[in-house]
Copies of this chain bind each other. A is one copy, B any other.
Amino acid sequence: MPVITVATVKPLPEHRDEVKAAFIAAIEQVHGEDGCELYALNQSDDRLVMIEKWASPAAVQTHSGSPALQKLFAALKGKLDGPLDVVNLEPVPAGDPAKGQL
């Protein structure tokens, strides 16, 4: 069963560019991790949201300790307004298969 993850950070305004750059630096490495099917960054005025799809819970588990993620966490230290919010979800496919699941 795949896992859909939505990870949200709210950067301190004065560190927004650095936080965004740290995520972008992590993306290329994470795309090469086993079981990574989607790891896509999105932004609004006050937050960055990574939307992720992993092939299995085991892949998420391995990712959570990966070198890319450890480096990212180190780069975020002191630059966020509050903790990283991570939500792990199970897909509920419905409707048009091309639009009804990630």
Count of interface residues, chain A, beta-carbon cutoff 8 Å: 35
CA distance A36 to B99 in the complex (A): 8
In the complex, whether A75 has a CB less than 8 A from a CB of chain B is no
- A27-45 at interface with B (beta carbon < 8 Å): 27-28, 30-31, 36-44
SS class, residues of chain A in contact with chain B = strand
Copies, count: 2
- Which of A57-65, A76-84, A86-94 lines the interface with chain B? A86-94
CB-CB nearest in chain B for A52? B99
In the complex, whether A6 has a CB less than 8 A from a CB of chain B is yes
CA distance A39 to B24 in the complex (A): 25
B49–A51 contact, CB under 8 A?
Answer: no
